[in-house]
Amino acid sequence: MKRISEEELKNRIAARKEGERMSFSSCEFYGMNLTGWRLTDIDFTLSSFQEVRLDGADFSGSSVENALFDGCSMRGVDFRDSCMVTASFRYCDMRECDIRGANLFGAVLEYARLEEIISDESTKWFRLHCPEKGAFLAYKKCVNDRLVQLLVPADAKRTSATRPSCRCNRAKVLTIKSFDYKENFDEAWSLVDDNFVYRKGQWVEVKDFNEDRWQDSTTGIHFWLTREEAKGY
C-alpha cells in the first residue's frame, strides 16, 4: 500500500484534467487535515485513512469501496452518488453526512455517529431491510442443512444493518425442512449456538436482544427474507 502525502494529493488533484477520474486505489493517507477538500470522482478503493480529518469534504461520485476510515472525523461529508460498499466507518463522526444516491451495501457503521445524516429513496442499503411494521415470514439455515421457516410477529423487535441478513427478538417456528423439501423435522439446532434449539410449532425468544441495528454479529435470531438467501448462507 503506497502512502500518499498531503502535498502529493493536493498537487495531483490540482493538475488533473477536466472530467478526468483519478485513482488513488490501495493508498494510505495518514495524519492529514482534509477539511473541506474537493475529492469528487476519485477511486479510493481499498485505501486507508488514518488520523485524517475530513469534515465537510466532498466525495460525491467517488468510490471508497472497501476503504478504511475507522475513527475519522467526517462530519458533513458529501457522499452523494458515491460507492461506499463494504467501507469501514467504525467510530466515525458522520453527523450531517449526505448519502443520497450512495450505495452502502456491507458498509460497517458500528459505533458511528449518524445523527442528522441525509438519505433518500435513492440511498441503497441504509434503511431497514426487513419490514419495519407488521408480521412477516423469515427463513434461517441450521445444522445439517435444515431450513427453518419462521413467523416474525408484529410485536417483535427487528433490525438489519447494511446487508440482507436481519435479526429479531422472537419468532414462531412454522416448519423445519430439508433443502430439497422432501423431509420434515421437529427440531433444528443453531449454527452459532448449539444450545439454541428451534422446535416446530414453538416460539423462540432471545431475552438479551441487542437493539443496535449497526452491530450485525450480535445477539438475536438471525434470519433472511427468502429461502434462497438462507440456503446460501
- In this structure, are 113 and 142 located in the same domain? no
Average pLDDT, the chain: 96
CATH number of the domain enclosing 95: 2.160.20.80
pLDDT tens column, 173-186: 999 999 999 999 99
Cell of 211: 437493539
93 and 28, same domain (yes or no): yes
pLDDT > 70: what percent of the chain? Answer: 100
Query: Quick one: pLDDT band at residue 84, thresholds 50, 70, 90?
Result: very high
Judgement on whether residues 120 and 7 belong to the same structural domain of the protein = yes
Residues 26, 121, single domain; the answer is yes
Q: How confident is the model at residue 192, as a pLDDT?
A: 87
Radius of gyration over alpha carbons of the chain, in Å?
Answer: 21
Same domain, 37 and 103: yes
**Is 172 found in the same domain as 77?**
no
| Mean pLDDT of the 61-87 span | 97
Q: Are 106 and 186 contained in the same domain?
A: no
DSSP letters spanning the chain: -EEE-HHHHHHHHHHPPTTPPEE-TTEEEES-B-TT-B-TTEE-TT-EEES-B-TT-B-TT-B-TT-B-TT-B-TT-B-TT-B-TT-B-TT-B-TT-B-TT-B-TT-B-TT-B-TT-B--TT-BS-S-SS-SSS-EEEEEEEGGGEEEEEEE-TT--EEE-SSS-EEESEEEEEEEEETTS--B-SEEE-SS-TT-EEETT-EEE-TT----TT--SSSSEEEBSSHHHHHH-
Q: Which pLDDT score is estimated for 1?
A: 87
207-223 per-position pLDDT tens digit? 999 999 999 889 999 99
Total domain count for the chain?
Answer: 2
Residue where a domain stops, chosen among 85, 104, 127:
127
User: Can you list the alpha helix ranges (DSSP code H) found in the chain?
Assistant: 6-15, 227-232
**Rounded alpha-carbon distances, angstroms, from residue 232 to 74, 147, 167, 198:** 36, 11, 17, 19
174 with 103, same domain: the answer is no
pLDDT of 113 = 97
182 and 203 co-located in one domain: yes
Instruction: Write down which residue in 81, 103, 127 finishes a domain.
Output: 127
* Same domain? 1 vs 106: yes
Q: Domain range spanning residue 142?
A: 136-232
Work out the percent of the chain whose per-residue pLDDT is above 90.
Answer: 95
Do 90 and 148 reside in the same domain of the chain? no
- Kindly tell me if the per-residue pLDDT of 58 is higher than 90: yes
| Final residue belonging to a domain, choices 102, 127, 152 | 127
